[in-house]
Structure 1
Amino acid sequence: MPTLIGKEVGPTGYGLMRMTWNPTPPSREVCFETLDTALELGANFWNGGEFYGTPDNHSCHLLKEYFTKNPQNADKVVLSIKGGLARGEFRPDGSEKNIRASVDECLRVLDGTKSIDIFECARQDPGTTVEQTVTVLAQLVKEGKIGGIGLSEVDAETIRRAHKVHPIAAVEVELSLWSLDILENDIAKTCAELNIPVIAYSPLGRGAFTGEIAKFTDIPEGDFRRLVPKFQGENYEHNLKLIQEIVALAKRRGSAPAQIALAWVRSLNNKPGLPTIIPIPGGTTKDKVIQNTQGIQTLSDEEFAEIDSILKGHVVQGSRY
């Protein structure tokens, strides 16, 4: 099993974003059932954010309530929290004052129910260097406020520079069948060289590979994905061809398309020159967690080669944001 900061985690983690950053968030009862199921099925790496939701209802609030009710589960979970944005704004602020305020606020909300195993600034502040950012976070590790340091949405050079200041516990980047950037821009290669695990967010292409979004209007009003170019107009009409190929493969395999997409990400762990990769699919219900963690785990060489051929024949159109 892969390890993060010395703790074993399952081959699939769990992303909390959809629970608190959803136009119609599920009830706490549904959330808790979903989290229980994730843990029972081995998805014990949980990834949340201080900005996933509102100032009064984000990941840390949900987790505080969950671990208050289930204190026996706190030590079973490896928790990663993203923060470091300017107060009340969606922009990075890498000053020591703000990073400390972000960590302290997350700890205040968690209220001792769960430690922060990994903390990462959601984006690197262009006004500060990564060396400055990691130096502050390293001091917070020394003070016992966080267990380790993660990086989010950074390039290969930034990873190398950061790792020289303090060992990096994980790098969180987007990776899916329609977001292959890290396999082509040295990020995955660099993480492999430095033995840094990759946390693959949006491994289902923001839901594209669930097979449930046949057209743009299937995306609910107010959903962030309506702003993503890959889902819009001619781009999505083009990208649907790739999705339909994966849906057809899944049907032949007797699996859900989401299971094929996740198995592809996990199968990258068997490829030379790549780091440990832990996908963190979201999902607001028990059934989604079961689907994402059960069934096919990795692809055969033949299936992987078939998908490689499909990807080469259907280059995705539209940017990630």
Structure 2
Amino acid sequence: MNSANVQEGFTWRANPIATEEAIKVLKTALDNGVNLWNGAEFYGPADNNSLTLLEQYFSKYPEDAEKVVLSIKGAAGPQGMTPDGSPDAVRASVDNCINLLKGRKKIDLFEPGRIDPDTPLEVTLNVLEKEYLQAGKIGGIGLSEVKAATIREAAKITKVASVEAELSLFSTDIFENGVATATAELNIPLVAYSPMGRGFLTGQFKTLNDVPKDSLLRHFPRFQPDTFPINIQLAEQVAEIAKAKGVTPAQLAIGWTIAKGSGSPVVIPIPGATTSERVVENAKKVDLTEDELVELHETLKKFDIAGGRYPGFVPVEG
């Protein structure tokens, strides 16, 4: 996995784009050096999710299978809201993901989408390690949305290939809660999802009315009538810095996450995109100077983000 490249994140969408368009977007991503693709069993309905799209892509472009590092989340229920790390549930999830790909592409990384509080972590990871990793059915084991203590515990059970966590100028929690420290000490790459702050840092939202009425974001604490006007002020400041540099706000935001991983831990951003134009924009590497990083740091210090990262119905460890 190359931290110098922006990678592709699949996300759940209420109104997914047409399959042919999605395949075109994926091809554009790979043509632009974006070769870590991150999806989930629960991104989309069971008959039209990340895996079904990927199967169709690799059916059309079988030569690309070896060019892509594929990371898939599962064992979290049909909507990612009911983590189940029991042996039977883990087997059912991994087997389903493998079957949906129809042998066209191996899963390079499998991540439990969330940690099951009712199943010992050792039980979950031992199934993945002994029945799938050692058997060659998957290439590695990752973690998603976990505490620092969980990372340390997992590393004693199996080799942890990656830790997926939210990271953006709007979400810097991992540098305060020990997650970044743990991954650095254990030499585990951090896969940063939502590097553009769930759209805040793209410039597409000016007011709350710009957020579609049927968007899941309408349920998120930071997208409420009392919090959005506060949070958009940071986005406006970031947009000004981006304009001065001659890049888009999205490129600046992604560049910041890459810069945060220039030492340790390594940080690999996985922004989502639904158009080829957006993929090309996101894939353009933007190097930030030390002065620009300081300016962004000072900008962050001026703002207190209003609202939590997730609504209460989304399971988050810790």
The answer for the alignment partner of 1:150 in structure 2 is: 142
Q: Which 4+ runs in 1 deviate beyond 4 A?
A: none
Q: 1:111 aligns with which of 102, 107, 127?
A: 102
Give the percent of matched residue pairs that are identical in Structure 1 and Structure 2: 45
Q: Distance in 1 between matches of 2:296 and 2:306?
A: 18
Q: Is the 8 A contact 1:13 1:45 kept in 2?
A: yes
- Relative distance call for 1:282 and 1:87 in structure 2 (3 A) is closer
Q: CA deviation at 1:9?
A: 6.9
Q: CA deviation at 1:219?
A: 1.1
TM-score normalised to structure 2 length: 0.94
Q: Is the 8 A contact 2:4 2:258 kept in 1?
A: no
Q: 1:90 aligns with which of 77, 81, 84?
A: 81
The answer for the alignment partner of 1:305 in structure 2 is: 294
Q: 1:39 aligns with which of 26, 30, 36?
A: 30
CA-based RMSD = 1.3
The answer for the alignment partner of 1:314 in structure 2 is: 303
Q: Distance in 2 between matches of 1:87 and 1:239?
A: 31
The answer for the alignment partner of 2:313 in structure 1 is: none
Q: Distance in 2 between matches of 1:23 and 1:128?
A: 31
- Relative distance call for 1:87 and 1:248 in structure 2 (3 A) is closer
Q: Is the 8 A contact 2:43 2:79 kept in 1?
A: no
Which residues in structure 2 correspond to 1:1-321 (within 5 Å)? Answer: 3=1, 11-17=5-11, 21-86=12-77, 90-139=81-130, 140-271=132-263, 274-294=264-284, 296-321=285-310
Q: Is the 8 A contact 2:75 2:93 kept in 1?
A: yes
Matched pairs, number? 309
**Tell me, what secondary structure is at the counterpart of 1:207?**
helix
* Amino acid corresponding to residue 209 of structure 1 in structure 2: L
- Structure number with the bigger relative contact order (C-alpha 8 A, sep ≥ 6) is 2
Q: Is the 8 A contact 1:119 1:148 kept in 2?
A: yes
Structure 2 unaligned runs (5+)? 311-318
Q: Distance in 2 between matches of 1:41 and 1:209?
A: 22
Q: Distance in 2 between matches of 1:10 and 1:301?
A: 17
- Relative distance call for 1:88 and 1:173 in structure 2 (3 A) is closer
Q: Is the 8 A contact 1:10 1:42 kept in 2?
A: no
Q: Distance in 2 between matches of 1:89 and 1:198?
A: 20
Q: Distance in 2 between matches of 1:93 and 1:84?
A: 6
Q: Is the 8 A contact 2:164 2:193 kept in 1?
A: yes
TM-score normalised to structure 1 length: 0.94
Q: Distance in 2 between matches of 1:242 and 1:88?
A: 31
Q: CA deviation at 1:43?
A: 0.9
Q: CA deviation at 1:89?
A: 7.3
Q: CA deviation at 1:234?
A: 2.0
**Tell me, what secondary structure is at the counterpart of 2:261?**
helix
Q: Distance in 2 between matches of 1:160 and 1:289?
A: 34
Structure 1 unaligned runs (5+)? none
**Tell me, what secondary structure is at the counterpart of 1:51?**
coil
- Relative distance call for 1:228 and 1:112 in structure 2 (3 A) is same
